[in-house]
Structure 1
Amino acid sequence: MDFAENILKKNTPTWFNLSFDIFVCIISIITAYFLRFNFHIPEKDLNALPSVIIYVAIIRGITFIIGRTHAVIFRYTSTNDALRIFFVIFIGSIIFGVVNLVSYKYTKVFIIPMSIIIIDFIVSLLGLLSIRVFVKIMYLQFDNPDRKKLNVILYGAGKIGVLTKKALERDAGIKYNIISFIDDSPNKIGKILEDIKILDTKNIDSILKANQPDQLIISSQSLNPSNKKIIIEACIANNINILTVPPVSSWINGELSYKQFKQIKIEDVLEREEIKLNEDIIRKVITGKRILITGAAGSIGSELTKQVIKFSPSLLILLDQAETPLYILELELEKLSFYKKFEIVVASLNNKEKLESVFETFKPEIVFHAAAYKHVPMMEKHPDEAVMVNIVGTMNIADLSNKYNVFKFVMVSTDKAVNPTNIMGATKRLAEMYIQSFNSCSKTSFITTRFGNVLGSNGSVIPLFKKQIESGGPITITHPDVTRFFMTIPEASQLVLQAGSMGNGGEIFIFDMGKSVKIIDLAKKMIKLYGLEIGKDIQIVFTGLRAGEKLYEELLADSENTVKTDNSDIMIAKVIEYDFDYLSKEINELIGLINTFDNTQIVKKIKEIVPEFKSKNSIFAKLDD
């Protein structure tokens, strides 16, 4: 065994490969004679056989040298190498045939009978390819005899599924036993693909329990979110590792390798059906326009940037005060070959002179206002900053939009603005109120979009849980019953774009957030996706609700209801509208309190303007008595 392993691992010299190939061809021509004459070679042909063997060896040797088939390392033989061998053998056989015709013309004798040339071609080709395949298989077997063996199920019995299987077979580090393919196509279920049976996705639970695979790999590129969720949930329940095959466009040099497979993400568990956008409406509003995005370096702002670019604005002005994320965004955009019309602006929302310079210089026609302070506990400690950014910053951008005749102003708000229990939510609600009231006395159409938590956004729960899991835990959750609505960053950005395009002004659009998710369930699924056991590998610790935190979020206040739109994912909230002059007077009084640094008075004034603001788990709850 050790001797065979050592031989297989060595690179044999090219002269040895050439000699071996010629030897195979000699055996092949002898075999062809035996087969042609039914193992009873006539004496005349038997006497000529030594000369024929020398003749065949010379011709084959020359064609091998020209075709360089001997220069290939046998254990790495590829499809291209096999094709090269086919052509070299074919050309050699053609030479035998041509020489035969010339010989017959002058001597009336064939050097090699024509039928033997055909048999020799087949036997030589099979012999050379079989030897190489055998060496390759034996090498893969001996290369790592102790390599880990994994049982795998492949989802997707199509072309990508077959390529996935071949990628697994090429992986030298692990030996994979493909148990089965699973698919939801009735035309494929029960059939055999690559010697492996195709099973029905509907029976996923029983398939997993019966086979107990180590991994399930999703190779299908067209799996809808609902089916994907069923498969992932079943794997999580059975402690099975889940991998996905990346899109074909990201394969290196068009070839798939095991190293490109990705671990499933928690976002995939929460993924929903693809949002259907009315791109014609968006195109009419965005294409050829000058667009300003505030908070452009943030999670929503940067995704909005990517979505807006698809509709070819004449200019994209990207404004943020966070220089490093803005620089990273700039580097990403510079890589784009199809869009170069953007300007990067570092500015604070409170620097109105700088903002006016931006409006005067670039004259934006549409504004997407995504800049805001969003962290609840932080804003409980710094209500003055929440007022300055979420309220005053919004007013500055809105006032300049009105002054410079911006066509549409679209503000990104939050579900925390509904029946707010914290300063962040209350300041965002005040910004909503200002924007909506301003619409009644401005040529600019002021529109608000309101949605819940965004998966994977900066500072959100999922990146926090990932960090805690990777550091060994524990995972910290404020309360076992806390729930949240979730939406992916692309989903949120697309809906902001859609709502902003369809809005006429004065609307507060809310999005279909699906079902709320218990945070503890989210944490448990993430732990299992990492292949860990709760209570054994990692602990979950409850820390108590933070200042201003709710057990559950709402998209509508008690006094609000909704009106449907043409898009089933978007509704209009019918809310109380405020007089612009009254609201401006109240907000200016609030702003006047900022320089006193008296947080109690600042929060008290916010509560006067937003009467539904009732603090929870906060030192400011005493102001509600």
Structure 2
Amino acid sequence: MKYKMRVLFLTVLDIALINISLLMAYLLRFDGSFANITPNFSMEIPELILIATAIKVVSFYFFKLYSSLWKYAGIYELSNVVLAALASNTFMLGYVFLTRTPVPRSIFIITFFIDCFVVGGIRFGYRIFRRMVRGDILLIKSTRKIMLIGAGDAGASLINEYRLHPELKCTPVVLIDDSVGKQGKKLNGVPVAGTRNDIVRIAGEKEIDEIVIAIPSAPAKTINELFTICSNTKCKVKILPSLSQLIDETISVQKIRDVNIEDLLGRDPVKLDNNEIGGFISDRVVLVTGGGGSIGSELCRQIAGFSPKQLIILDNYENNAYDVQNELLTNFPDLKLVTVIANIREKARLENIFRNHRPQIVFHAAAHKHVPLMEANPTEAIKNNIFGTLNVAECADKFGAKRFVMISTDKAVNPTNIMGATKRVAEMIIQAFSKQSKTEFVAVRFGNVLGSNGSVIPLFKRQIEQGGPVTVTDPEIIRYFMTIPEAVQLVLQAGAMAEGGEIFVLDMGEPVKIYDLARNLIKLSGFEPDEDIKIEFTGLRPGEKLFEELLLAEEGIQATKNDKIFVAQPLHTDLAILRREIECLKDIIINNAEEAREYMKVIVPNYTTSGSSAGNK
């Protein structure tokens, strides 16, 4: 009812404005006096008013002048007013021409401009009046002052969005852009006042409350640099997600969020050959061991999107497997999914699973991975990462899997801890099997992934929540990082490219100082490092390096068609000899864990427990 009354009111108002517009056009045409209008012209005015009223009201309806929300009027609504005025006056001109009605042709040109002014003016005047009453223009209300970084399309959209949502009580007051040509200009009424070098100064001068980085197309390196500058202010820093995260590519204030560590450590989007991956996975039975873990669960998510014939989640921990199962069934209702609770150490159980389901592709992500825990429990690392991997590899070979892809780690290179050493043996198993099996065995080696279970970032977040201190082992320790989705995308691409025997090495980008990572996380949490939250150095833990390596010296490296994936030169490993060494290891760990650790140096000659490794220098 309220809507109908508004439409009726606008229609009546427009009828009055149409008549006024036509009369004003005659006055302007005849020097401001009706007395100057000749009788042959004046006699037609009443009929012309009736025709103009009918034609223009119909045009206004056609161009949706009665269905727009004028309190949010913008460029779209203005263009509709102009188009409606142009179309209706063109019709009037055509009518006069066809009926030979004596009317000066210039009347309709004048009327067009008056129509735009009075019809549009009333509507936009309502919006301005409404904002003035609400205090949005006069700043009667207390608002937060916003600095936008990026005077492009995203910045322009956000300015409009803030104005459309006065309930947010946020006012864009200044723009920052590195483009010299934009300096001193205004974007939607907001001045571009400087470049990134001026952020700290302007934030202080303008008393800025919040800074929004509004450059969705910017690479992670630029975002990191901008955040570093902004962190020197007292402002809250937020970000508009990247174009890859803006699924529908629409800009809105609802999509502005806090900066997270992935924004600072992320890299350029991965270029994938989805057709190649699809051909590798589609309509095949795929098994993921450790399918409930950080990497395994993401593998399951992405594999499900490529329409496998069947996806088998294998995990020893039922809660994780259950959660992933429910998520996949919700997001992929047509997916044929099997969830198996099993331990890869139990050969008979694995054989039964392979016999029943006949997986064609195996992603082996099950492993013990926590360096300090495995240093304290070396036999468990050996049982899971070596004996378990051997069991899965033997089953894949025995039951004719087409391809076997193992998830490895940079800690397998020149290992200084038992976890890395066991993963190196797992790589050796894969390369040895590839020499004699019809199954294509490959491994994919990469560094740390952001946010994985037990990684440094969740630990730092918990320490910050508890008020600190944040513990860093050494001020110079560095690590490579990539996001879990990126790592898994590259694993799938490498798996699709595999021919057998390769160890694929992922480009991990630039190394990150863990100390800098800790400081950034503290700042992202709204605290000041060493003031609100202390950072303490605890010393390197047993088996820990200052930096990790991705290649053995003798491996070398080859490029692939994907610039993020490389292939290490295969090293010869004799399966028969390796089996004998593993059997000896089985006998040793029964009686003496430390002796087993020492025997690992026989299998992996470059494994050292001393501080003499290159990574510790």
Q: With structure 1 as the length reference, what TM-score do the two structures score? A: 0.78
1:510-521 aligned within 5 A: 510-521=505-516
- Residue number in structure 2 paired with 1:243: 239
Asked if the contact 1:21/1:70 (under 8 Å) is kept, the reply is no
Q: Aligned letter for 1:147? A: S
Amino acid at match of 2:294: S
Of residues 449-458 and 340-349 in structure 1, the stretch that sits farther from structure 2 once superposed is 340-349
Q: 1:166 to 1:412 in 2, by over 3 A?
A: same
Superposed displacement of residue 130, structure 1: 1.7
1:438 — aligned with what?
433
TM-superposition CA deviations, 1:213-247 (whole Å, max 9, x none): 66554544443444444444443455662412454
Over the residues paired in the alignment, what is the CA RMSD in angstroms? 4.6
1:347 and 2:342 equivalent? yes
- Partner-residue secondary structure (3-state), 1:152: strand
What's the offset of the Cα at 1:357? 2.7
Shift of 1:66: 9.9
- Letter matched to residue 240 of structure 2: T
Q: How many residues align?
A: 594
Could you report, residue by residue, the CA deviation over 1:537-572 in whole angstroms, capped at 9, with x for unpaired residues?
332233444444333323345x64423233554444
Instruction: Note the C-alpha offset of 1:133.
Output: 1.7
CA contact (8 A) 2:217 2:242 kept: no
**Partners of 1:126 and 1:54 in 2: CA distance:** 20
Alignment map for 1:232-381 (pairs within 5 Å): 232-237=227-232, 241-245=237-241, 247=243, 250=246, 256-276=251-271, 285-286=280-281, 289-308=284-303, 313-334=308-329, 340=335, 342-381=337-376
Indicate which of 526, 532, 535 corresponds to 2:521. 526
Change (3 A) 1:316 1:117: same
Match of 2:560 in 1: 566
Amino acid at match of 2:414: N
Q: Aligned equivalents of 1:539 and 1:11: distance in 2?
A: 59
Does structure 1 retain, via aligned residues, the 8 Å contact 2:345–2:388?
Answer: yes
Q: How many angstroms does 1:332 deviate by? A: 4.3
Q: What is aligned with 2:614?
A: none
Q: Secondary structure at the match of 1:131?
A: helix
Alignment of 1:162-241 (within 5 A): 162-172=156-166, 173-177=168-172, 179-180=174-175, 182=177, 194=188, 204-209=195-200, 211-212=202-203, 217-237=212-232, 241=237
Tell me how far apart the structure 2 counterparts of residues 339 and 554 of structure 1 sit (CA, whole Å): 42
Residues 372-403 of structure 1: CA distance to partner in whole angstroms, max 9, x if unpaired? 12122333343343233212221110110111
- Given that 1:217 and 1:245 are in contact with CA atoms closer than 8 Å, whether structure 2 keeps it comes out as no
CA contact (8 A) 1:64 1:88 kept: no
1:136-147 to structure 2, matched below 5 A, reads: 136-143=127-134, 145-147=140-142
Aligned to 2:492: 497
Q: Is residue 418–residue 554 contact of structure 1 (8 Å, CA) maintained in 2? A: yes
Tell me how far apart the structure 2 counterparts of residues 589 and 92 of structure 1 sit (CA, whole Å): 94
**1:623 aligned partner:** none
> Do residues 126 (structure 1) and 129 (structure 2) align?
no
Secondary structure, aligned partner of 2:394: helix
Assess, with a 3 A threshold, how the Cα gap between structure 1 residues 607 and 17 changes in structure 2: closer, same or farther: same
* Kept in 2: contact 1:25–1:60 (CA 8 A): no
Structure 1 residues 275 and 18: CA distance shift in structure 2, 3 A:
closer
Q: Secondary structure at the match of 1:177?
A: strand
> 391, 395, 402: which is aligned to 2:390?
395
Distance between the aligned counterparts of 2:74 and 2:233, measured in 1? 38
Do the aligned residues in 1 keep the contact of 2:361 with 2:402 (CA within 8 Å)?
A: yes
Further displaced range: 424-433 or 207-216: 207-216
Cα distance change, pair 82–57 in 1 and its aligned pair in 2 (3 A): farther
The code of the aligned residue for 2:165 comes to D
Shift of 1:533: 1.9
1:73-99 deviation per Cα after TM superposition (whole angstroms, max 9, x unaligned): 653446676677668777987898899
Structure-2 residue corresponding to 1:584: 579
Task: Please tell me whether residue 424 in structure 1 is matched to residue 416 in structure 2.
Answer: no
Q: 2:589, 2:595 within 8 Å by CA — same for their partners in 1?
A: no
- Of the three residues 35, 39, 64, the one matched with 1:42 is 35
Distance 1:126 1:600, change over 3 A: same
Distance in 2, matches of 1:375 and 1:266, equals: 22
SS in 1 for 2:517: helix
Residues 33 and 474 (structure 1), Cα distance of their counterparts in 2 relative to 1, 3 Å cut: farther
**Are 2:143 and 1:152 equivalent residues in the alignment?**
no
Q: Distance in 1 between matches of 2:28 and 2:348?
A: 96
Contact 2:304 2:335 in 1 (8 A): no
C-alpha distance in structure 1 between counterparts of 2:90 and 2:273, whole Å: 63
Query: Matches of 1:140 and 1:471 in 2, distance apart?
Result: 44
- Does the aligned pair in 2 maintain the 1:549–1:616 contact within 8 Å? no
- Distance apart, 1:291 and its partner CA: 3.0
Conserved 8 A contact 2:291-2:314: yes
CA contact (8 A) 2:162 2:172 kept: no
1:35 maps to amino acid: L
TM-aligned CA distance change 1:92 to 1:418, over 3 Å: closer
Per-residue displacement from partner, 1:93-114 (whole Å, max 9, x unpaired)? Answer: 7898899899x98xx887xx77
Distance 1:75 1:352, change over 3 A: same
Provide structure 1 residue ranges, at least 5 long, that are not aligned to the other structure: 1-9, 618-625
* 1:452 has 2:440 as partner: no
Distance 1:309 1:71, change over 3 A: closer
Residue 487, structure 1, aligned to residue 514, structure 2? no
Q: Which has the larger displacement, 60-69 or 450-459?
A: 60-69
- Specify the code of the residue in structure 2 equivalent to 1:566: T
Tell me how far apart the structure 1 counterparts of residues 213 and 576 of structure 2 sit (CA, whole Å).
58
1:620 corresponding residue in structure 2: none
Unaligned stretches of 5+ in structure 2?
Answer: 612-617
- Matches of 1:441 and 1:221 in 2, distance apart? 50
- The whole-number CA distance in structure 1 between the counterparts of 2:118 and 2:472 is 66
User: CA separation of 1:543/1:137 partners in 2, compared to 1, >3 Å: closer, same or farther?
Assistant: farther
Q: Note the alpha carbon deviations across 1:462-512, whole angstroms, 9 max, x for none.
A: 233334445544323233232212222233223333444444444433333
Structure 1 Cα separation of the partners of residues 273 and 453 of structure 2: 29
In 1, Cα distance between equivalents of 2:244 and 2:131: 26
State TM-score, norm by structure 2.
0.79
Task: Give the conservation status (yes or no) of the 8 Å contact 1:246–1:261.
Answer: no
Residue 71 (structure 2) pairs with residue 75 (structure 1): yes
Shift, 1:354, TM fit: 3.2
